Amino acid sequence: MDWQTSEDTVPSAPVTEADARLLLGRPPATGAWRDGDPVGERRFARFGAFTTEGGAALPGIRLAYETWGELSPARDNAVLVLHALTGDSHVRGDAGPGHPTDGWWGDVVGPGAAIDTDRWFVVAPNMLGGCQGSTGPSSIAPDGYEWASRFPFLTIRDQVAAQVMLADALGVDAWAAVVGGSMGGMHALEWAVGHPERVERLAVLCSPPTTTADQVALNSVQLEAISIDPRFAGGSYYDAGDGNGPHRGLALARRMALLNYRTPTELNARFQRSWQSGKSPLGHGGRYAVESYLDFHGNRFTRRFDANSYITLVEAMNSHDVGRSRGGVDDALARVTARTLVLGVDSDRLFPVEGQHRIARGIRTTIDEETVVLASDFGHDGFLIETAAVGAHLRRLLDT
């Protein structure tokens, strides 16, 4: 059903009464996948002790992942697909037990699709620190309680280090391609810079070489929205009953984020100044349709995500700087040897195309002379919505 599809992957639309009725129940304290929940299509890889860049230690970690296609005898057809901030390993497939939403890129990955699973062995992990099966704040620590706010600070490089462990466990010495958009593009770029010998092709979609001060500032107000929710309780909310978790702060953070993911053009065209109902918003208690749209998707988000994981992942995204301790961005990008596609969206106000231009200028092995810039009214989410155009460019990369 449409309501089960992630809001990131579809155009904005007014909220119907039927939509609203679906969220009448109280949201759980956390929308995280927990041990004992239906596994769905997940697989799990477990590893021993893991030390972060900052020196914090986890006694063991687990990555949830999904795969499609078959690994060739030569192990040379593996493609790593990396999700965005609030995505997960469920790239394709229906919503159902264990999976709160439909696959977020089902038009791009699959039999006969741009990333053709009849040809490629596709692997999609849930990133370390996430809340859909990989070790994160909602996971149980050795003392029998959730890690919660005790979970260590992670960087993009930490998350890629965990993905390297997964590649080793799968017997993949080199990826035929590493593909990522948004935060997943940060991971993909880090793979190609930090492990150039293990990446043959690279696709960086709507992602920057560094997280800028402006982007950190936008992230900071989202994190504050969560932390000031009294029911956040310093991160110790997992025993709270339905409706008593930090859903208001998490929903507000999501509403803020959605404004960065979409564009004025789309929101103005879709909603104009329409009302949500017959009740006037001009002093009579009614609401504008766009307000209800943001509320609905913010509230729905709380049923599939975890507040502590949101903080952990946003802070990891803030850490992103491929030039850190590598002589700067240009020196870091010069390390890339993979055949590379760099793609941006002209209306992206979260990660504007200037960032993609800098990546394309710095990598000497791009398949185009400059960044591929898609014209779209959907802003940052264009890489998830404009699947025909994105898929066509991914086919070009994979055919090189």
Lowest mean pLDDT among 206-220, 269-283, 299-313: 269-283
Note the pLDDT of residue 132. Answer: 98
2 against 159, higher pLDDT: 159
- Across the chain, what does the average pLDDT equal? 94
Give the tens place of pLDDT for each residue, 129-141.
Answer: 999 999 999 999 9
- Distant-in-sequence contacts of 13-19, Cβ < 8 A, 24+ apart: 13/270, 13/293, 14/270, 14/271, 14/274, 14/276, 14/289, 14/292, 14/293, 15/276, 15/289, 15/292, 15/293, 15/295, 15/296, 19/296
Identify the H or E element spanning 282: none
272 against 119, higher pLDDT: 119
Note the pLDDT of residue 1. Answer: 30
- The pLDDT of 20-46, averaged and rounded, is 89
Q: How many CB atoms lie within 10 A of CB 149?
A: 15
Note the pLDDT of residue 252. Answer: 97
Q: How confident is residue 19, by pLDDT bands cut at 50, 70 and 90?
A: low
- For 46, phi then psi, to 5°, come to -115, 140
Q: State how far the Cα of 172 lies from the Cα of 18, in Å rounded to an integer.
A: 46
Give the tens place of pLDDT for each residue, 328-370.
Answer: 999 999 999 999 999 999 999 999 999 999 999 999 999 999 9
Q: How confident is residue 279, by pLDDT bands cut at 50, 70 and 90?
A: confident
Q: State how far the Cα of 93 lies from the Cα of 68, in Å rounded to an integer.
A: 10
Note the pLDDT of residue 8. Answer: 72
Predicted TM-score (pTM) of this structure: 0.94
Give the tens place of pLDDT for each residue, 390-400.
Answer: 999 999 999 99
Give the tens place of pLDDT for each residue, 36-85.
Answer: 999 999 999 999 999 999 999 999 999 999 999 999 999 999 999 999 99
Q: Which of 132, 127, 116, 117 is nearest to 186 (CA)?
A: 127
SS3 state of residue 229 = coil
pLDDT at 5 exceeding the cut of 80: no
- The pLDDT of 200-207, averaged and rounded, is 98
Give me the percent of the chain exceeding a pLDDT of 70: 95
Show which residues are catalytic: 182, 348, 380
Residue ranges of alpha helices (H) inside the chain are 17-21, 156-170, 183-194, 213-227, 247-261, 264-271, 289-301, 307-318, 329-333, 353-362, 382-385, 387-398
- The pLDDT of 172-190, averaged and rounded, is 98
